[in-house]
Amino acid sequence: MVSNNRGAAVKNNIRLFGSTKVLIIAGLLAAMSIVLGKFGAINIGNSIRIGFGGLPIQMAGIFFGPVIGGAVGLVADVVGCIMKGYAINPIITIGSTCIGVFSGLVYHFALRGVKNALLPKVAASTVTAHAIGSMIITSIGLYVYYHTPFETLWLRVPIYLITAAIETAVIYLMLKNKAFTAELNKVRRK
């Protein structure tokens, strides 16, 4: 009887993720985002960072939906700031969360009826996610909290367009791989 109650409690706690497998993969994607975005990025001054921390966040949104993508973005930003010793900027955290949310929303709901639209769906997802999350919201956070000049913030636009193109290629190639897609479908099943 005790084990049944414990099992029910665990099941209720992971309801957002649907299964323990998805929860574990979401945690791994958040960890990858921290490594790629905070520790593996190239910083140019205080306002420009070139890295691929958004890639695992977008993967979470595209693979598992906007809610899990947003959760991965939120966790990755907050934990990454704590580990790196940065102050948590709530506007930048919202931007990171929006990267996961919008990549999932656009991928799962845009171009729904079009056949053979994998590449356009992935491209629209990554560009929209970076346009809203990185170029707009995060830039506002940098301006409000750190008074970064607009001239410097404009440099973020070409950087994130190039980043979105590279991330599109990576995610597209992953989803085009039949073995990867088969394993992903096994994880998504409840």
Q: What angle do CA 76, 157, 144 make, to 5 degrees?
A: 65
What's the pLDDT band for 18 if we cut at 50, 70, 90?
confident
Q: Render pLDDT for 22-71 as a digit per residue (tens, 0 to 9).
A: 999 999 999 999 999 989 999 888 778 899 999 999 999 999 999 999 99
What's the pLDDT band for 1 if we cut at 50, 70, 90?
very low
Domains and CATH numbers, the chain: 2-188 (1.10.1760.20)
Q: Render pLDDT for 108-130 as a digit per residue (tens, 0 to 9).
A: 998 887 788 899 999 999 999 99
| Confidence (pLDDT) at 14 | 59
| Confidence (pLDDT) at 12 | 52
Q: Render pLDDT for 77-96 as a digit per residue (tens, 0 to 9).
A: 999 999 999 899 999 999 99
Q: Render pLDDT for 136-163 as a digit per residue (tens, 0 to 9).
A: 999 999 999 999 998 889 999 999 999 9
- Nearest Cα residue to 46 out of 156, 148, 155, 154: 148
What average pLDDT score do residues 6-19 get?
60
Q: Is the pLDDT of residue 174 over 60?
A: yes
Share of the chain above pLDDT 90, in %: 75
| Confidence (pLDDT) at 10 | 45
Calpha distance 138→169 (Å, rounded):
23
Mean pLDDT rounded to a whole number for the chain: 90
Write the secondary structure of the chain as one string of H (helix), E (strand) and C (coil).
Answer: CHHHHHHHHHHHHCCCCCCHHHHHHHHHHHHHHHHHHHHCCEEECCCEEECCCHHHHHHHHHHHCHHHHHHHHHHHHHHHHHHHCCCCCHHHHHHHHHHHHHHHHHHHHCCCCCCCCHHHHHHHHHHHHHHHHHHHHHHHHHHHHHCCCHHHHCCHHHHHHHHHHHHHHHHHHHHHCHHHHHHHHHHHCC
